[in-house]
Structure 1
Amino acid sequence: MQLTTHTDYALRTLICLSLQPDSAPMTVQEIARRYSISANHIAKVAQTLTQLGYINSLRGRGGGLVMAQAPDTINLGTLVRETENLKLLDCFGEASQCAIEPACKLKNMFMQAQQAFLKVLDGYTLSDVIRNGDELKVLWR
């Protein structure tokens, strides 16, 4: 399974904000600069993460993005479910057009694979991702 750029950038944004000293706000531009990616993409991701309650957006002078939840409460499986379209095949949807769907075994196999993938991610939180925070911080300089 391949994750979208949106989910990738959501994870990167959460990593960056979680490692911020004293929970200081970071701007979209700062996050984008650290990863050498588009600020417009980060802005869209920040909007999603704000709507989902993972981060807060502070307006005004000295504003920026800050974590709204502790890293140990952010489950990776949940985050992926909330940011990804998990419809792997046409038959995963309501209006399948597949002629062989009634007899096809692929749907169940892919469903099991997807559930296994998400089950593994359910075993991790953002805290697990940032355990090597000092190593990550060095790479941003």
Structure 2
Amino acid sequence: MRLTSFTDYGLRMLMRLASAPDRAFSTADLAEEFQLSRNHLIKIMQKLGRAGLVQTRRGGGGGATLAHAPDEIRLGDVVRVLEEGQALVECFQPNGGDCTIDGCCRLKTRLRVAEMAFIENLNRSTLADVALPAPEPA
């Protein structure tokens, strides 16, 4: 199983937010720390915000904070949100893809079970379990 870079960066950002749950992190600071495009980071933050995982405030003193305590945010749930729309295999796409063996395939069910087990295993851990070390004061 391979996660998209969107999910990878989303997890990294949440791990940073979990390192200092009371601090608001600006998108500029996070983009610099993780060396990625601020525009890409903003798209990830928007998805995390729509999912109720982060809160954002604009202006001076603004930034992103966790919407819940780090020990209440399950990693599998985060991956599920960030990987939404990314089918593990073509036949998992909403339209079924172009699979020519869909009607007789015995692999699809096994892959679905494996995908669910992956998420369930991640859900044994929370964001608190993987928080990054607290950032040093500027």
TM-score (norm. length: structure 2): 0.86
1:119 and 1:50 map into 2 onto residues whose CA distance is 23
> How far does the alpha carbon of each residue in 1:64-115 deviate from its partner, in whole angstroms, 9 at most, with x for none?
1111111001011111111113522232245334232222111112112212
2:3 maps to what in 1?
A: 3
Distance, in Å, in 2 between the alignment partners of 1:13 and 1:88 is 23
Q: Which amino acid aligns with 2:95?
A: A
Instruction: Kindly indicate whether structure 1 or structure 2 has the higher relative contact order, using CA contacts under 8 Å at least 6 residues apart.
Output: 2
Match of 1:113 in 2: 114
SS of residue paired to 1:11: helix
For the aligned residue pairs, the C-alpha RMSD in angstroms reads 2.0
Where has structure 1 moved over 4 Å in runs of 4 or more? none
Where in structure 2 are there 5+ consecutive unaligned residues? none
Number of the residue aligned with 2:19: 19
Identity %, equivalent residues: 36
Is the deviation greater in 106-115 or in 85-94? 85-94
Counterpart amino acid of residue 87 in structure 1: A
SS in 2 for 1:57: strand
TM-score (norm 1): 0.84
C-alpha distance in 1 between matches for 2:129 and 2:10: 16
Map Cα deviations across residues 4-60 of structure 1 (whole Å, 9 max, x no partner): 11111111111111112x712111010111112221111111111111111111112
Q: Per residue, is there more helix in 1 or in 2?
A: 1
